[in-house]
Structure 1
Amino acid sequence: MKTIASCVEDVLITQPYLEEALSRGIINYSALAEELQQPISDMLKKPVKSAAIMMALRRYSSPMVPGHSLKMKKIINNLGDITVRSNLTDFTVKNSHTLIQNHSKILEKVKGQSKLFYTFTRGIHESNIIISSSLKPFIMECFKNETFIAIQDNLSAISINLPEENSKIAGLYYHFFKRLAWEGIILYEVVSTTNEFTILVEDEFVDKAFSAVKRLKK
């Protein structure tokens, strides 16, 4: 059976920013209780007093256990090199029976060019290539018979090397997204491998995004 406490927990779990502010003691309990009065009354299908909600908020205990917090802090402190690459173009192409064959021409072109930035991601309905803008004419020629969904120039990539144990800790990417969201940085694309995480932003955001990611380690 639903209770005020369980409703409060449901609300906070779906709003991690709010939960974090509450756990840090930087939120007004009374004001938050007033804000949640109507939603929780709707959830319980009966009127609920804000005083009861405020009591539930004060008793709320975050599911983030101390051991997890220590592991997360260790991972963040051990982030590796942060690399910035500029002058990139992002191509989004509709999947087709000829796409892989045409893509093989690009692979032949980029092989051996270790300093060239290049990523390829294939989804269910579309595929994405991020590559140095100097190769844009070549990409356009290779895909001249393909259907482009989007082409975006003036992009920069920020790549972060992650500790090997990053895949064993929950919520790591949340910390990146939270910091970037707080800074008002719009992510154009996100690419990741097991131990590397890359965000793609428009050039106007690159300095701000780099500073935001770097501050995570402090």
Structure 2
Amino acid sequence: MKTISSAVEQYIKGKPFLQTALSQGIINLTSLARQVKPDIEAQLGKEVRNGAVVMALKRLSDDLEFRATHRIIKVLKDIGEITVRSALTDYTFLVSESILQNQMRLLREIHPQKDAFYTSSRGVNELNIVVSSSLNSLVEAFFEQERLTQKAENLSSISVKLPAENVSVPGIYYFIFQRLAWEGIILYEVISTTNEFTILVDEEQVDRAFTVIKDLKSL
């Protein structure tokens, strides 16, 4: 039999921003209870008291704080090196039979340039390349015959080294990206490896994005 507590938990889990605000204790439970009460009654098929919804929210907020936020914050306190690079260009090409060969040609050309930035990721239909803007002419020459779908300039990257235990704690990336979203940071690209991720943002937003990520260590 479905209970008020299980109905409230199901409702909150479907709204990630609300779930985090609840776990951080920054939301008025009485006001929230009045708002969610009609949905809870619809789930249960009967009327419920506002006080019962408040109590369910209180128990859930305490449980969420221990189960999720506490473990995530513990990991984020051990964030390692944060590296920022500016003057980058982001290219997106459609995947073709020749695109990997052209990518190899580009890599051979830029390999001796130790100060140049280069990263790439490939999806099912697209290949993404991010380079120092000084390499734009090379990219455009080698990929002249490829189909360019997007080009964005004046970007900056922030690379973050995560502790090894990040792979065993759910919600790490959500927690980080949620805070960037709260600050209105637009992510052009997200590129990750097992213990490191890089975000690409507009140069006008890089200072704010860096502050958000740096401040995670002091939560």
Q: TM-score, normalised by structure 1?
A: 0.89
Cα offset for 1:180? 1.0
Q: Which moved more, 1:153-162 or 1:70-79?
A: 70-79
SS in 1 for 2:80: coil
Identical pairs, percent:
46
Whole-angstrom CA distance in 2 between matches of 1:97 and 1:50:
62
Residue of structure 2 in register with 1:98 after alignment: 98
Residue of structure 2 in register with 1:169 after alignment: 169
Are 1:52 and 2:85 matched, yes or no?
A: no
1:182 aligned partner, one-letter code: W
Whole-angstrom CA distance in 1 between matches of 2:186 and 2:15:
19
1:43-81 per-position Cα deviation (integer Å, ceiling 9, x unaligned) = 334554434322321332525546x76653442222112
Are 1:62 and 2:63 matched, yes or no?
A: yes
Whole-angstrom CA distance in 2 between matches of 1:28 and 1:213:
27
2:110 aligned partner, one-letter code: V
1:133-152 matched pairs, under 5 angstroms:
133-152=133-152
The answer (yes or no) to whether the contact 2:23–2:65 under 8 Å persists in 1 is no
1:1-218 matched pairs, under 5 angstroms:
1-60=1-60, 61-63=62-64, 65=66, 71-218=71-218
Whole-angstrom CA distance in 1 between matches of 2:144 and 2:74:
48
Whole-angstrom CA distance in 2 between matches of 1:186 and 1:103:
27
Cα gap change, 1:20/1:71 in structure 2, threshold over 3 Å: closer, same or farther? closer
The answer (yes or no) to whether the contact 2:23–2:64 under 8 Å persists in 1 is no
Unaligned stretches of 5+ in structure 2?
Answer: none
Root mean square deviation of aligned Cα: 2.1
Cα offset for 1:149? 1.3
2:57 aligned partner, one-letter code: L
1:182-209 per-position Cα deviation (integer Å, ceiling 9, x unaligned) = 2221111111112211111011101111
Matched pairs, number: 217
SS in 1 for 2:141: helix
1:38 aligned partner, one-letter code: P
Unaligned stretches of 5+ in structure 1?
Answer: none
Cα gap change, 1:25/1:187 in structure 2, threshold over 3 Å: closer, same or farther? same
